[in-house]
Each structure stands twice: as C-alpha cells, then as structure tokens.
Amino acid sequence: MLKKKLLFGLILLIFVSFRSVAVEGMWLPSLIEKNIEEMQMLGLELEALDLYNEDGTSLKDAIVRFGRGCTGAFISPDGLLVTNHHCGYGVIQSHSSVENDYLTEGFWAASRDEELPNPGLTITLLVRMENVTARVLETIDPNMDERERNRAVREISRTIADEAKEDGRYEAMVNPFYYGNEYYLFVYNIYRDVRLVGAPPSSIGKFGGDVDNWMWPRHSGDFALFRVYADEENNPAEYSNDNVPFIPDHFFPVSNRGPEKHDFTMVYGFPGSTQRYLTSDAVKYIVESENPMGIDIRTRVLQIYEQEMAKSDEVRIQYASKHAGVSNAWKRWMGENRGLHRLDAVNVKKELEREFDQWAQSGSMETELYRGLMQAFEQYYTEYLPNRFAMRLYFEAGRRIEIVRFAEQFAQLVTLSSEKNPDQEKIDVEIEKLKRSAESFFRNYNSDIDRRIMAEMIRQYMKYAGEMVPPVINDLQSKYDENIEPFVERVFKRSSLVSEEQVMELLENYRPRHYRRIERDHAFQFARELRSFVFGEIMPAQQKYDSKLDSLYRLYTAGLRVMKSDYNFFPDANGTLRISYGRVEGSYPRDAVQFLPFTTGDGILEKAAQNEVEDYRISERLETMLENRRYGSFANHDDLVVNFIASNHTTGGNSGSPVIDGQGNFIGINFDRSWESTMSDIMFDPEQCRNIAVNSQYILWVISQYAGMDYLLDEMNIVLE
C-alpha cells in the first residue's frame, strides 16, 4: 500500500510539474522542436516542421501581424483574414458616421466590389527567422562600455538586416532576446492593400464592453474579417483596383466541430511585451507606485469621456476608440496588482534572488561573473525609479491632453522655418504631413472634452510630480494652485491649434516667417515647455539608466540559465512571432468559485436582460434568434458555444491570434485574458491564468445565420470532424 501511495504521489508530482511548464511560455517557432514532445503529450498531432518550416509550407504562413499591434490569420485561399473586432475598431470607426454607423449596425460587404479600402493599414507576414547571435556578438569587445556595445550592436544589426532585405524586396530587423544574450533576424513581407470585408455590430463584436473587459465569463463575438490584396504576381502592392486577392501559402481550415474540455490548444501570434525576469525591486515599484498612479489618472479621464459621450451620438462615435484604449490598461493594471499581491510576487522574486546570490557566492569559476549582481540591482533601482516615474507621469497625464500631442507635431516645422536659410522643399514636405495629421486629428476631436481633460491632467501633475516637477507645472501651481481653469480657458481661447479651420488656413498660406505665430501659440508653448523638461532633463538620464539596467538583466538572465541549466527558459515577448500552448480548461479563481470553460448564447440573453447596462444591449433580431435557438448547424451539444477559455500564455499583441487544435484547425480567435491572469506578463500562475477566445462555431454562426453572408463560408474549408 505504501509503495502504491508513493508511486501515485510521484506520478502526481510529475503531472503537476509538467503541466506548469507546458502552459507557461511564448516560444520561438524555429526552436519549437524543444517543446514538441510536451505539446504532443497534451494532444498535438502535428510535427515541429508542420508548425514552422522555412523550406516548405507550415502553419506560420497563415499568421500575420495585423496593423501595428495585433495578430490575424488567413482562413481561405483567397486572402480572407480574421482578426479581432477590437483590432479593427479604429478602421471600422473611420468608415462610420452618424448616417452610416458601422460601429453600431455592423458592416458586411455583399461582394468583393463592396469591400472597403483602408489607407495605412498593413499586414506583416514572416518569411523566415534566423539565429544571428554569433555574428552580432563577434563584434563586441569585452572591454566596451554599454554605450559602445549598443552602438556596435546597432551597426551590425543594421548591416545584417539590410543584407536580408534583398534590395527592398523584404523588410527585416534583428531583435535581441534575453536582454541581448541572443539575437535573431526576422525577414518580413508587408502587404498594404487590406480591405474591410465584414464586422458584426458592436452589440456582438463588443458585447460586454468595458463592463466585461478582462473578465470571465464572456460572451463577445470579438471578430472582424478583412481581405488582403496583392498584384497579379501575388507580391505586395499599394491599393489599386487592379489588385487581386492574395493567395497565402497556407490558410487554416475552420472547425465546426466545437472545442471540448481538455482539448489541446495552441495560440500562434505576435505577443507584444512581457517582463518575466524583473527583480523584486521593479515589481514592488509597479505594484506600489506606477500602477496606482496610472489607475487614478485614467479613472478621472474615463469619467470625463463617459459624461461627454452620453450627450450626443456624434461624440460617442468620435471617442469610442479612445475610451476603449484608456479603459483597457486601466482595468488590466487593477487586475495585475491584485494577481501580484495574491501570488506574493515580491517575496517570491526575493527568494529567487537569494538563491541566485548564494549560488553566485559559491566560489566556482562559472559563478564569479555574477557575484554582487543583486546588490547592484538594488542600488541602481534606488536611483532609477524616481526618473522612470516622472517619464510615466508625462505620458499618462501630460500627453493625455490631445492638444498637447497635436501641438508637439509643429515643432519640426518651427525648427525648419527658423533656420538661417530655410529649406523650402523640406518645409513643404512637413506641411503636407501636418495637413494629413490635422485632418485625422480633428475628425475625432472635441475641444470641450479636451478642455476638461487638460484642467484635470494639470491637477494630476501637481499631485504626483513631487521633486521632479516640470517648471511649467511648478509655475502654474504657484499662480493658480488647483483652480487651473482660467489658464486652460485662456489656452483654448487664444490657441489657433484647437480650430481645424485656423490650422488649415495657417498651413495653406504658410511662409517660413510664420513660425513665430506658432511659437506664440498658447497650446504650442505649453506643449513645448512640458516636452523640453521631459526630453531635455528626464529622457537623457532615463536612457542611461535603461542602458545600465539592460546590462544588469543581461547578466542576470544569463546567470539564471546557467544556474538552472535543465530548465527551458523562454525569452520575453518582444513583438516577434511566438507559439504558446495549453488546453481548454476552467479554473478556480476565488474561494468557492469555479470558472467553467464555455459560455453559450443563453448567457447573452441573461446579460441582455439587465436592461440598465448599456454594454449588454442587443438587437431585437439577435434576441429573437437566440431565444428561438436558431443555431442552424453550428450548435455544440445543442448549445451555441460563444467563448471558451484555455491555459495558453498570452499577452497584448496576441489579440487576433488564431487558436488552433491538435490537427491544425482554426477553432477560435484569442481576444483577452481573464482578470485573474493580467499579472502573467510578470508572473504566470498555471492554475489561474486563462486566455479567452471566440469559438469558431460562433463566428460561423454570425456570418451565416445572423449576417446571411454564406458566400464567405463557401470560400472556407469547414471541418466537421
């Protein structure tokens, strides 16, 4: 009996250890061979070359970076691309007006001729990645200081990337990993003709809105469809009526089988940033200083937005995307703090640091390089953190004022115009750039809102700046204290930059001597004084601190990989293509609370019954279809499964990433994490961290049954088994 108990305990220990390792991590596809056995034990039926293959077709050929910060996936041989509704939100908004409110009503192109072009929107497709660590590091002299090292790395990285571009055929860049212990070259194709095909109404695509953001259970149809176009030879091309649908090397079959509990899941995408290796000093600062400041400031911004958006549909449409952007991080930081407190993250980090320090002091030759490293971290953070706080305060409060951000853009025109012999050609180029910027800025600008924001943000600056207060804020505090409204009123009354008509008049009739008119502008003066302090005093020190910290973290991550040589450390996310894997499963987020892995159409109706909640309102048509259970062929066990959760490690940038089953089929689209997971950028908890995805069956149902766009399903490969 004792032997059986010991054997059972050993099996359980192995399972728990394996499970924790299996779900944490964002892995480079070119090195996925190291993880493939674990993935297959979880249910993957493919080989490493099926996931990433430079010499043949693989799943990576169906993955794109969508725009600047999301992911997308091809789901048809004709360039049909799926991403999140919230990733395409700005694009959908740009086509919307009070008369054609695609945000509220949705948009569906009945044919390819009706697909809407989107100037400036791109998708980025990885061609290949290559380990170039040896070539980069051979240029580094051990006697170089950090500044010299960085310069050498930049130069060789630029050379390597330029060679890979093949005379402009590709885009390329070299990215550091493990704080510069390794370097990889990434070669990309960028496609610039991307058209909107379909977007559900916000009552589907944004169902739950800010109320449900970062929460489970969710019931959101957070998807949108685009199509990528190319020239007749399938190469990238600017928008043209002559372009044809892009033919991807691979596209995902779309599953209508429905996920089951414990099914294998893989998320393949472009995660933005994680901070897995931060020390305890950094984590303590984030939890106790940086996050609370950001939460407080954004709370006040959101209150102003919501009050003003409630007054008119025009303002609601103008500020919908801005509100979502402010709210997203605001809610995440609250969840992150909660999760880090629950995990006792600071003390867990300290324990690892004590272990590292003891190992470094062990006396062996391999540890000599790392002695005193933890003490150096502690000393350096004492000097660094006040400077970092000042930078964050500038971006949270100073640049939250829209007219400040807009006014800053005129600085280059002033510089060019004030030269002894102004270069008219350069000035003309700058003027055209400012005209485009002004057109975009004023399309979604409300000066009444910005006036209120400016007053509140100056007060927040006064509250948080401490000893590192910009002179312009210090002067205002001495003169006005918190009654800052008279100053704000004067800025908006006397600035020509708050008026589209006056800005365009200035730019249309601009002469170099007119730069003095800009210099005297009240909004420009405030923006310049604020920026000159930050970028003249704070930024130079910040860059030195960041450079030194990078060198300390480079040693630390190298030392960790030596100390725990049997552990497979994943590199922090940095916007490059990654694979994470797990399985469909719920969790136990709090005492006596269980999260089940699936939500259904019934849950939409339950939330919609709360009529007082704006984010839960749905159309009468959707309500009727759900009440009558008109699920067509898209039901799973007689239910319409809307969303599911899985134990994949994800972060920002994974929005729009396909969720793939063990056979390589598209089973859903990643769009969020649960609130209990938001600390996973710093510390991952396999028992709590869950990514949230839209079920592929629900996507198909919306396209077919709700929108009546069956022709889109006809071009997909729909998998039933």
Show which residues are catalytic.
86, 222, 655
Q: Which H or E run includes 294?
A: helix 291-309
Q: Residue 636: what are its φ and ψ, rounded to 5°? A: -125, 110
By the 8 A CB rule, do 219 and 692 touch?
no
Q: For the residues of 492-545, what is the DSSP string, one character each?
A: HHH-GGG-HHHHHHHHHT--GGGHHHHHH-HHHHHHHHHHHHIIIIIHHHHHHH
The two structure tokens encoding residue 378 = 């502690």
Give the SS3 label for residue 27: strand
Q: Which residues fall within 8 angstroms of residue 317, CB to CB, at 6 or more apart?
A: 93, 96, 97, 98, 101, 103
User: How wide is the angle at C-alpha 661 spanned by C-alphas 656 and 667, nearest 5°?
Assistant: 50
Calpha distance 476→478 (Å, rounded): 5
Closest C-alpha to 709, from 231, 244, 114, 121: 114
Calpha distance 160→199 (Å, rounded): 40
Residues 622/624/625/628 CA torsion (nearest 10 deg): 160
Calpha distance 519→407 (Å, rounded): 10
Closest C-alpha to 207, from 609, 596, 595, 614: 614
Which sign, positive or negative, has the C-alpha torsion 266, 267, 270, 272?
negative
The two structure tokens encoding residue 597 = 């892995």
The two structure tokens encoding residue 37 = 């056995």
Q: For the residues of 655-674, what is the DSSP string, one character each?
A: TTPEEE-TTS-EEEEEEEE-
The residue behind tokens 């032997």 is: 3
**Cis (ω within 30 of 0) for the bond into 217?**
yes
The residue behind tokens 């394996």 is: 18
Give the chain's radius of gyration (CA, Å): 27
The two structure tokens encoding residue 203 = 């009552």
Measured N-to-C along each axis, helices 471-480 and 485-494 cross at an angle, to the nearest 10 degrees, of 120
Q: Which H or E run includes 356?
A: helix 345-360
Q: Which residues fall within 8 angstroms of residue 358, CB to CB, at 6 or more apart?
A: none
Q: How many residues are present in the chain? A: 721
Calpha distance 576→28 (Å, rounded): 8
Closest C-alpha to 466, from 386, 394, 380: 386
Calpha distance 431→410 (Å, rounded): 9
